């Protein structure tokens, strides 16, 4: 058998992630690999911490990038904070809320589920009613931007309710960071995790996380060790604590962190609110065009994520054929439906560098042609 170098096709990525990675971020990735304890590298990691604090809008000292994808960020929050004695309220309105529940249950903790319909925001009144009935609850967890459905929840209100009942808050911001307003300190979020490959438009495999002082205290006061060695944040923190104080924990993905640094610089140069606005503007352009094609949104207008547009597949249109036509004829990737929406909806991402006019135009032209070709 003859093997050759792998040359990926040039795609436009408009699915639920990974999103388009700019040439600038890709070129950062190709810079020379240096040692992960090299003072030059430690200095760059320190800058990443500061840039992440700015992106999350937090002063939390414990703000780092985990060497693993968003799912590991989720797991890190739960394994570090939650013990078998705890009661956790998890709000579920899609696939990722379901994964939070699995995390809680695997830790042997008590999980109280607040279900809201898929395709809608988490219902604040339901959360409040559950917290009223369960004064023993210690944590409230929810997904800010449900990528499985395209729904945006009101994180500020949900955290306010959680705080009124003395709970710590755990928030999934994998798809929200950089794409919509997110204020970790102002909104009183105690543990938050994100991903590199959604609105940061970096390569996949890194998870920014941030823990409040209260959350750090909970971790420090645990009576049992964190059940995961790799994700134990008391060990990871020492690895991220700067030159001279640094102790070896694992080898950071050196080049991927160059890419993250570059992606965060791009976000910082653009400005957070400018980035939120760009996602909104591009979403409005896309929504207009999709509606002109006769496509109907799954999520009501005021609960929609600009960076993830979920539309119903029209009757008589072949889902798989449309998506492979887009890929083969237009080098365009859009997302299939997930969970309850498998086979029923498309998920069109406008994340980070992908939220550009040329992508919107390409998507609309390509979809129009595909729908005409594959409907009966």
Q: Does 175 bind ligand PLP (CB under 6 A)?
A: yes
CB of 260 vs ligand PLP, minimal distance in Å: 13
Name the residue among 23, 33, 64 with its Cα closest to residue 249.
Answer: 64
User: Which is nearer to ligand PLP, 305 or 364 (by Cβ)?
Assistant: 305
* Sheet with 139-143, side-by-side order of all strands: 62-66, 207-211, 191-193, 168-172, 139-143, 87-92, 110-115
Q: Does 199 bind ligand PLP (CB under 6 A)?
A: no
Name the residue among 342, 343, 365 with its Cα closest to residue 94.
Answer: 342
Q: Does 170 bind ligand PLP (CB under 6 A)?
A: no
Q: Does 147 bind ligand PLP (CB under 6 A)?
A: yes
Q: Does 69 bind ligand PLP (CB under 6 A)?
A: yes
Interface stretch with ligand PLP, choices 6-14, 168-176, 329-337, 344-352 (CB under 6 A) = 168-176
Q: Does 303 bind ligand PLP (CB under 6 A)?
A: no
Interface stretch with ligand PLP, choices 31-39, 52-60, 170-178, 244-252 (CB under 6 A) = 170-178
Q: Does 195 bind ligand PLP (CB under 6 A)?
A: yes
CB of 194 vs ligand PLP, minimal distance in Å: 9
Name the residue among 121, 83, 122, 188 with its Cα closest to residue 113.
Answer: 122
Q: Does 77 bind ligand PLP (CB under 6 A)?
A: no
Q: Does 67 bind ligand PLP (CB under 6 A)?
A: no
34 burial type by CB count under 10 A (0-12 exposed, 13-18 middle, 19+ buried): middle
Q: Does 325 bind ligand PLP (CB under 6 A)?
A: no
Q: Round to whole Å and give the CA distance between 69 and 140.
A: 22
CB of 17 vs ligand PLP, minimal distance in Å: 5
Interface stretch with ligand PLP, choices 169-177, 214-222, 225-233, 265-273 (CB under 6 A) = 169-177
Among 71, 87, 369, 375, binds ligand PLP (CB under 6 A): 71
CB of 73 vs ligand PLP, minimal distance in Å: 7
| DSSP-assigned states of every residue in 5-54 | -------EEESSSSPP--HHHHHHHTSPP--TTSHHHHHHHHHHHHHHHH
> What distances in angstroms separate CA 100 from CA 38, 97, 144, 246, one per listed residue?
37, 5, 13, 32
Q: Does 103 bind ligand PLP (CB under 6 A)?
A: no
305's CB contacts (< 8 A; 6+ apart) are: 145, 146, 147, 150, 151, 152, 175, 176, 179, 180, 299
Interface stretch with ligand PLP, choices 65-73, 178-186, 253-261, 349-357 (CB under 6 A) = 65-73
User: Which is nearer to ligand PLP, 42 or 267 (by Cβ)?
Assistant: 267
Q: Round to whole Å and give the CA distance between 199 and 195.
A: 8
Among 96, 240, 330, 341, binds ligand PLP (CB under 6 A): 96
The radius of gyration computed from the CA coordinates of the chain, to the nearest angstrom, equals 21
Beta strands in the chain (DSSP E): 12-14, 62-66, 87-92, 110-115, 139-143, 145-146, 151-152, 168-172, 191-193, 207-211, 308-312, 332-336, 345-349
Residues 147/345, Cβ–Cβ less than 8 Å: no
Residue count, binding to ligand PLP (CB under 6 A): 13
Q: Does 172 bind ligand PLP (CB under 6 A)?
A: yes
Q: Does 17 bind ligand PLP (CB under 6 A)?
A: yes
CB of 338 vs ligand PLP, minimal distance in Å: 10
Applying the rule CB under 6 A, the residues between 326 and 365 that interact with ligand PLP are: none
Q: Round to whole Å and give the CA distance between 326 and 319.
A: 11
Name the residue among 330, 333, 326 with its Cα closest to residue 354.
Answer: 333
> Which value, to the nearest 10 degrees, does the dihedral of the CA atoms of residues 162, 165, 167, 170 take?
-10
Interface stretch with ligand PLP, choices 21-29, 57-65, 167-175, 361-369 (CB under 6 A) = 167-175
Q: Does 143 bind ligand PLP (CB under 6 A)?
A: yes
Among 174, 191, 263, 290, binds ligand PLP (CB under 6 A): 174
Q: Can you give the binding site for ligand PLP, defined by CB under 6 A? A: 17, 69-71, 74, 96, 143, 147, 172, 174-175, 195, 204
């Amino acid at each position: 058998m003859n093997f050759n170098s792998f040359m990926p096709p040039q795609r436009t990525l408009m699915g639920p992630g990974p999103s388009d990675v700019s040439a600038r971020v890709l070129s950062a990735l190709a810079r020379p690999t240096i040692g992960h304890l090299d003072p030059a590298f430690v200095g760059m990691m320190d800058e990443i911490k500061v840039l992440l604090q700015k992106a999350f809008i937090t002063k939390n000292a414990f703000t780092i990038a985990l060497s693993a994808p968003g799912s590991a960020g989720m797991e890190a929050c739960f394994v570090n904070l939650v013990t078998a004695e705890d009661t956790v309220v998890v709000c579920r309105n899609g696939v990722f809320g379901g994964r939070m529940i699995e995390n809680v249950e695997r830790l042997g903790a008590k999980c109280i589920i607040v279900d809201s319909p898929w395709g809608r925001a988490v219902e604040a009144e339901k959360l409040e009613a559950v917290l009223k009935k369960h004064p023993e609850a210690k944590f409230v967890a929810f997904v800010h931007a449900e990528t499985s459905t395209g729904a945006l929840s009101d994180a500020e209100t949900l955290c306010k309710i959680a705080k009124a009942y003395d709970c710590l808050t755990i928030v999934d911001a994998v798809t929200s960071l950089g794409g919509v307003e997110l204020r970790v300190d102002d909104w009183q979020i105690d543990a938050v995790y994100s991903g590199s490959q959604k609105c940061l438009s970096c390569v996949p495999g890194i998870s920014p996380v941030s823990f409040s002082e209260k959350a750090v205290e909970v971790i420090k006061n645990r009576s049992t060790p964190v059940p995961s060695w790799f994700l134990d944040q008391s060990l990871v923190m020492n690895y991220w604590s700067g030159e001279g104080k640094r102790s070896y924990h694992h080898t950071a993905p050196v080049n991927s962190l160059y890419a993250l640094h570059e992606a965060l610089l791009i976000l910082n140069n653009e400005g957070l609110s400018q980035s939120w606005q760009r996602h909104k503007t591009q979403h409005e352009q896309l929504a207009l065009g999709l509606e002109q094609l006769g496509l109907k949104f799954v999520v009501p207008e005021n609960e929609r994520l600009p960076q993830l547009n979920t539309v119903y597949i029209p009757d008589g249109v072949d889902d798989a054929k449309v998506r492979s036509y887009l890929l083969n004829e237009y080098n365009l990737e859009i997302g299939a439906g997930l969970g309850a929406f498998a086979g029923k909806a498309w998920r069109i991402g406008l994340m980070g560098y992908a939220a550009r006019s040329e992508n919107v135009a390409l998507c609309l032209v390509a979809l129009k042609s595909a729908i005409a070709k594959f409907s009966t």
